[in-house]
Amino acid sequence: MKRVLGKGYVRLVDVMGSDLTVVNAARVSYAKASDSLNERDIKLIKFLAREGHTSPFRHAIAQFEIYAPLMVARQWWKYVVGSSHQEATGDSLEAWNESSRRYITEEPTFYIPQRDEWRTAPENSKQGSGKKVDDHIIADAATFQLERYVAQGIKLYENAMKAGIAPEQARLFLPAYGMYVRWYWTASLQSVCHFLDQRLEHDAQKEIQEYAKAILELIKPHFPVSVEELL
């Protein structure tokens, strides 16, 4: 398990396959298979990745448990939806199941950036962020105000449930974007690497970059050749 953004984390739950899975999926059309990965197999993986023959990479699967602020989860989910509709790659073989406050009332947990974690708006773009906020007064005020806002939301949420309001409606009082949510993400090796290719880029949101780094660290030991070639 890899800790990310304070109380967040990524956990690799399960893995199906290896680099050898990719090789044998590609060779099945010739009724051939390898028992162990060799140099010829590695050359085949490199060829498949280089030439965009992606279907063999979809025979290997990874499942993760992720705990992240909602702002990260929703950006991640938009990627999943977009990825599954790529005509060039076909079905990316993904599944997403998320915890719901309709059914659980675990203590709300929030991501609150500390003083040295606030970033300025970018100078030449409508999205993303710039350098760190240098003005300590502004940064301290932002952290303090967010902490106070979260505390007020939690109090209103708890009061609503004590008054008899259904949890699925009481959650409306909770500040949304910084609240941690938990989900399972199951995806093919191709899809995981496509996610990494996009979210490890320097212009991706910093918070999701940190989760992508954790995903990479967990998945690469299981598919060292394929991950290296696909990224």
Q: Is 199 one of the annotated active-site residues of the chain? A: yes
Active-site residue, from 58, 171, 182, 199: 199
Looking up tokens 């076909």, which residue turns up? 90
Quote the CA–CA distance of 212 and 198 in Å, as a whole number.
9
Are 15 and 22 in contact by the 8 Å Cβ rule? The answer is no
Three-state DSSP class for 142? Answer: helix
CB atoms within 10 A of CB 152: 12
Q: How many CA atoms lie within 13 A of 106 on its CB side?
A: 9
* Beta-strand relationship, 61-69 and 8-16: antiparallel
- Which positions are catalytic? 199
